[in-house]
Chains A and B, each alone.
Chain A
């Protein structure tokens, strides 16, 4: 069996950034496994702009961003195997994969970075009642049909959910000559970025209904209309508030779920909240030497953040391979009031520098503070003019502050 120092599963923005990060920290023997025939992951179908503002200080399209990062990896002579599907990872870090030219093969990895990305929540998972006809499609799949294949999957569209891909697709469908009838969001606020609400919805006069959901899909063969209802504070449809919207397509943009099937095969501990791996501040999972980054760890808003996390995972994997990451004692991090799924979920006592935290606010909070409690005592605070569930919140804390914790660290919002 071939041995490789660092195997990276996934050649999207997280995986490629991790590869570059690891190479720059001196890892020579890197292998990236990518299941599709191309590098770049989902960015290949993102022809809109807004990528790279943080990383490259430029406003790029997703395609350009993907090309830059793939070019960086190529310039560093990183080996990427495309059309290669990883079937499983064993707890001993043996990766089983296959591709048409090599067939089925196994690799003993010394370290692994998980960068498999995420998938979209489907109609089935949402249990939307009604006809099971054609014309119900997730936003990302529609984006692929439109941008990579050149076909319109519908002409009169209702969008369920105000996730970023749905908002982007609302604009794009409009530009392509389709009519977006309405965006329907179950929460009282958008789950997408403020800039997307403004640039993709308001600028195109697309109506948006908050606290509403699709309660029925109608149509024989193809969608002919959907029924929309208002919901109460427990997100239950309110009888009598129904109205019907004629359309040929229901586009679903109602959340992303990290794809951790491989992590499960390795027995890696997953968080029921983020659906990603439980990691320490090195982004190392419960299996020593296996790291996780990008949307497979927790769903990000911006590729720039995915890329930064990838770079960090790559650098940490390099430290692990040099033997600089000891199995050290950790302190658990709890998500307190207003905080959903803080990452990392544990912090090492040993080490220096800063620890980066990220979480998704549970609600909209104007002018608030983020508090970091160490053993129940507030040890650091960070002011924020506003927090919203549509935008991931991030901040850094000095490890010296955290290392004092005897029992636990908690992150919470104070209004």
Chain B
């Protein structure tokens, strides 16, 4: 019997797994996707929110603020890029300034540093602040992270400390048994004492199997555009427009420009409720909403000083993801009264990425305090990983090549990813098994050519490392094979 099963390996599941790995526990993570971080965690705005806008006293407020303060150390420990670049929520009219002042009050209640700025104040922070902006809110503690990078790092570290990951394994049902739970999955049955429900847009399904205290998750999709790294030099702080309430309740943080930690620009996003919990499509409506917004409002953003028009030609790709919006409008945490030892981390929509590490701490505490579980003596908090080649200094590059000549072979030319890094991504704990998993770990295929040149080589390296045939390699697990057959070959006995 397992001590703990974590259902779902997104940012919540991976944070929980890593937290559990500190203790003397036998932990299993079940993930239906082909990789960790295959759902909501890979398709969001990558912002580490300071916590200025959740309703004071809510779980969202408590964990957002606590999580945000954990980020610098957590990311340093796991060697994950994190930048505290600050955020400006700008206003273009007096009604929006009213909203800015309301946000300031919330920020004060949440003990988050914010400042209501005039245009002149904003110009001191962002000298290129665009035209039409009359003021806004400055949130200095806002930051940026790559959420899937962090989730992968958390998973690797958890695995390094003994947590087992079963990918492409879908939890299907949960039954109460003597002393715990029976989890039936697509890959066999597992018994466990505790369950951590980190199933994202499916969390309602599992909760409602074990508890009469039912809730529902409404998948709320959001789409983003990525702009070429050439233009990132004109961006510094995260810039959002003052948000508007959504018709179906709640609000998002408004359209914004996020300078990613990887040196690109993220633009987005829309917020529209959808039916499919796995929805990650880009829709015409969603993309149009973003493009139309930025075409119309580009002049407000500081980048417009250098790039006067919305640079449609510099968009290299788009992505989408679904937030797990709960019908209760706050995170749903802890054990339902009628289901002890079943711990929810549900409804983790924005600011979920920020809050997840703090939530995981408290949720794991429920288990370890009740059971008196001791810590592991040999827990290793970090990862053994080299910095990406593209961020190395010339001396570091020279040394890396001397140690491993595969560092001199560039596979992805756009993002300057070397063969050594791709092999390492496959060999690491919870290693890459698909072209997309390599991309998430190394950025190979994420640049301006979008994998046109490197994907055939990545596929070859996957074959070499995994002992597979090219026809077996997938883009992202399941039936997403990249190649479908051998090319025409003369058949035996078929003389021409």
A221 touches B478 (CB 8 A): yes
A104 touches B394 (CB 8 A): yes
Binds B, one of A132-140, A279-287, A356-364, A406-414: A132-140
A133 touches B456 (CB 8 A): no
A35 touches B410 (CB 8 A): yes
- Is A292 close to B, CB under 8 A? no
Q: A132-B319, A176-B487 are in contact. Are A100 and B452 (CB under 8 A)?
A: no
Residues of A within 8 A of B193 (CB): none
- Is B377 close to A, CB under 8 A? no
Q: A129-B282, A134-B475, A221-B478 are in contact. Are A154 and B484 (CB under 8 A)?
A: yes
- Report how far A161 CA is from B54 CA in the complex, Å: 47
Query: Residue on A with the closest CB to B312?
Result: A127
Binds A, one of B7-15, B109-117, B293-301, B395-403: B395-403
B484 touches A125 (CB 8 A): no
Contact pick for A104, options B315, B401, B406, CB 8 Å: B401
Q: A65: shortest Cβ distance to chain B, in Å? A: 21
Q: A127-B318, A177-B488 are in contact. Are A221 and B480 (CB under 8 A)?
A: yes
Q: A83-B409, A150-B486 are in contact. Are A122 and B316 (CB under 8 A)?
A: yes
A134 touches B480 (CB 8 A): yes
Contact pick for B485, options A87, A140, A151, CB 8 Å: A151
- Is A152 close to B, CB under 8 A? yes
- Is B76 close to A, CB under 8 A? no
- Is B24 close to A, CB under 8 A? no
Query: Which residues in chain B, 398-418, are within 8 Å of chain A measured between CB atoms?
Result: 398, 401-402, 405-406, 408-410, 413-414, 416
A130 touches B452 (CB 8 A): no
- Is B479 close to A, CB under 8 A? yes
B485 touches A152 (CB 8 A): yes
- Is B173 close to A, CB under 8 A? no
- Is A123 close to B, CB under 8 A? yes
Query: Which residues in chain B, 277-291, are within 8 Å of chain A measured between CB atoms?
Result: 280-284, 286-287, 291
Query: What does the 1/0 interface line of A190-219 toward B look like (CB < 8 Å)?
Result: 000000000000000000000000011000
Query: Residue on A with the closest CB to B285?
Result: A129
- Is B305 close to A, CB under 8 A? no
Residues of A within 8 A of B320 (CB): 132
Residues of A within 8 A of B397 (CB): 98, 104
Contact pick for A130, options B282, B405, B489, CB 8 Å: B282
- Report how far A131 CA is from B280 CA in the complex, Å: 7
Residues of A within 8 A of B230 (CB): 264
- Report how far A332 CA is from B429 CA in the complex, Å: 58
Q: A104-B398, A119-B453, A141-B452 are in contact. Are A129 and B484 (CB under 8 A)?
A: no
- Is A301 close to B, CB under 8 A? no
- Report how far A146 CA is from B485 CA in the complex, Å: 10
Contact pick for B281, options A132, A141, A145, CB 8 Å: A132
- Is A337 close to B, CB under 8 A? no
- Is A149 close to B, CB under 8 A? yes
- Is A344 close to B, CB under 8 A? no
- Is A328 close to B, CB under 8 A? no
Q: A123-B450, A129-B284 are in contact. Are A151 and B316 (CB under 8 A)?
A: no
- Report how far A76 CA is from B487 CA in the complex, Å: 37
- Is A85 close to B, CB under 8 A? yes
- Is A99 close to B, CB under 8 A? yes
B287 touches A127 (CB 8 A): yes
Residues of A within 8 A of B316 (CB): 122, 124-125
- Is B142 close to A, CB under 8 A? no
Q: A100-B405, A125-B317, A177-B488 are in contact. Are A153 and B483 (CB under 8 A)?
A: yes
B315 touches A124 (CB 8 A): yes
Residues of A within 8 A of B394 (CB): 96, 104
Query: Which residues in chain A, 79-134, are within 8 Å of chain B measured between CB atoms?
Result: 83, 85, 87, 96, 98-101, 103-104, 119-120, 122-125, 127-134
B482 touches A124 (CB 8 A): no
- Report how far A122 CA is from B482 CA in the complex, Å: 16
Contact pick for B488, options A96, A149, A175, CB 8 Å: A175
Query: What does the 1/0 interface line of A319-344 toward B look like (CB < 8 Å)?
Result: 00000000000000000000000000
A98 touches B401 (CB 8 A): yes
- Report how far A149 CA is from B318 CA in the complex, Å: 29
- Is A68 close to B, CB under 8 A? no
Residues of B within 8 A of A237 (CB): 284
Contact pick for B470, options A149, A175, A222, CB 8 Å: A149
B470 touches A124 (CB 8 A): no
Query: Which residues in chain B, 434-470, are within 8 Å of chain A measured between CB atoms?
Result: 448-453, 455-456, 460, 470
Q: A127-B287, A151-B485 are in contact. Are A100 and B406 (CB under 8 A)?
A: yes
Q: B303: shortest Cβ distance to chain A, in Å? A: 17
- Report how far A216 CA is from B455 CA in the complex, Å: 23
Q: A306: shortest Cβ distance to chain B, in Å? A: 18
- Is A144 close to B, CB under 8 A? yes
Contact pick for B410, options A85, A120, A138, A259, CB 8 Å: A85
- Is A248 close to B, CB under 8 A? yes
- Is B21 close to A, CB under 8 A? no
B452 touches A138 (CB 8 A): yes
Query: Which residues in chain B, 302-327, are within 8 Å of chain A measured between CB atoms?
Result: 313, 315-320
A-B contact pairs, 28 of them (CB 8 A): A35-B413, A83-B409, A103-B402, A103-B408, A119-B452, A119-B453, A122-B448, A122-B451, A124-B316, A124-B450, A125-B315, A125-B316, A125-B317, A127-B287, A127-B291, A129-B281, A130-B281, A132-B319, A133-B475, A141-B451, A150-B487, A151-B484, A151-B485, A152-B483, A153-B482, A154-B484, A221-B476, A221-B479
Given contacts A85-B409, A151-B470, 7 further A-B contacts (CB under 8 A): A100-B409, A124-B316, A132-B281, A132-B320, A149-B456, A149-B460, A221-B476
Top 8 nearest A-B pairs by Cβ distance? A124-B317, A122-B450, A134-B480, A100-B405, A134-B475, A221-B479, A151-B483, A85-B410
> A residues touching B (Cβ–Cβ < 8 Å)?
35, 83, 85, 87, 96, 98-101, 103-104, 119-120, 122-125, 127-135, 138, 140-141, 144-146, 148-155, 175-177, 215-216, 220-222, 237, 248, 259, 261, 264
